[in-house]
Amino acid sequence: MKKYNIIFYDCVDSTNLEAKRNSQMEDRTVFTAVTQTGGRGRLGRKWFSDENGLWMSVLLKPDISPAQCSFVTLVAGLAVCGVIENSGIKWPNDIVLGSKKVCGILTEMSSSAEKLNYIVCGIGINLNNESFPDELSNIATSLYLETGGKTDREMFLNRFLSEFEFYYSRFVENGFSCLADEYRKKCITLGKDVTIIRGDNSYPAIAVDINENGELIVETENGTETVLSGEVSVRGIFGYV
């Protein structure tokens, strides 16, 4: 396996920000912290990051186009699912255990014109939380809450990196299409009634497929639509999943 250079911190604002501040470092450098004071989700949302989880960001410098960057979220999702038995992927970036979110992924990139400078793939996994703040208790779960066992952070990190390298190297060499079938199998969104939320506008749809570009295909009353990641939120009609 290619070597990952891992940097451990007690506390940072956000491991994604720390990775971006150190983007001159080598490909496959991992920034991980026990706690984050400003953990970030997508679209400026907050990510709850106390001392019970694994918060990490992987700095990557692949020879791919900026347009392919969003695949890295899907690749990381497959890797997390490889470590957490019985978990599934809520397209595109949540890992679900039971019926709640155990992990979120935030992939960011820097590019100039057609050239990718770097990707930072941030992954947050709730490991040993015995409870969550009220506002998250309907959405969030931890490995401990679902399995009853406590998980060693470093052991999980090493297992994750070996799964990540497995999927990531295949993606960089052959493109996402070679992983699309496996992603479909893990994707719990497929076959579900969902609500597509585009800004202020929301409407019902049925999620029917993930295409070779990693996009979600939905059926709406106006026909078939392709949904790009980052463009919309997808919610099950009966709740989070």
Residues found near ligand BT5 in the complex (CB under 6 A): 14-16, 36, 39-43, 45, 47-48, 55-57, 93-94, 101, 104-106, 122-124, 126, 136, 139-140
When the beta carbons of 39 and 62 are compared against ligand BT5, the nearer one is 39
Q: What pairing do the DSSP bridges indicate for beta strands 216-220 and 94-97?
A: unpaired
When the beta carbons of 170 and 197 are compared against ligand BT5, the nearer one is 197
Angle between helix 71-83 and 153-174 (nearest 10): 140
Instruction: Tell me if residue 17 falls in helix, strand or coil.
Output: helix
When the beta carbons of 120 and 218 are compared against ligand BT5, the nearer one is 120
Residue nearest ligand BT5, Cβ-based: 104
Distance of closest approach, residue 94 Cβ to ligand BT5, in angstroms: 6
Distance of closest approach, residue 236 Cβ to ligand BT5, in angstroms: 14
The answer to whether 188 and 158 have CB atoms below 8 angstroms apart is no
What is the distance between the alpha carbons of residues 3 and 161, in angstroms, rounded to a whole number? 10
Distance of closest approach, residue 12 Cβ to ligand BT5, in angstroms: 8
- Give which of 220, 162, 172, 150 is closest to 65, Cα–Cα: 172
When the beta carbons of 5 and 224 are compared against ligand BT5, the nearer one is 5
Distance of closest approach, residue 120 Cβ to ligand BT5, in angstroms: 8
* Number of residues assigned to the chain: 241
Instruction: Tell me if residue 35 falls in helix, strand or coil.
Output: strand
What is the distance between the alpha carbons of residues 147 and 125, in angstroms, rounded to a whole number? 14
| Residue at 65: amino acid letter | S
Instruction: Name the phi and psi angles at 239, rounded to 5.
Output: 150, -155
When the beta carbons of 62 and 124 are compared against ligand BT5, the nearer one is 124
How wide is the angle at C-alpha 201 spanned by C-alphas 199 and 203, nearest 5°? 130
Distance of closest approach, residue 221 Cβ to ligand BT5, in angstroms: 27
When the beta carbons of 72 and 123 are compared against ligand BT5, the nearer one is 123
Distance of closest approach, residue 121 Cβ to ligand BT5, in angstroms: 9
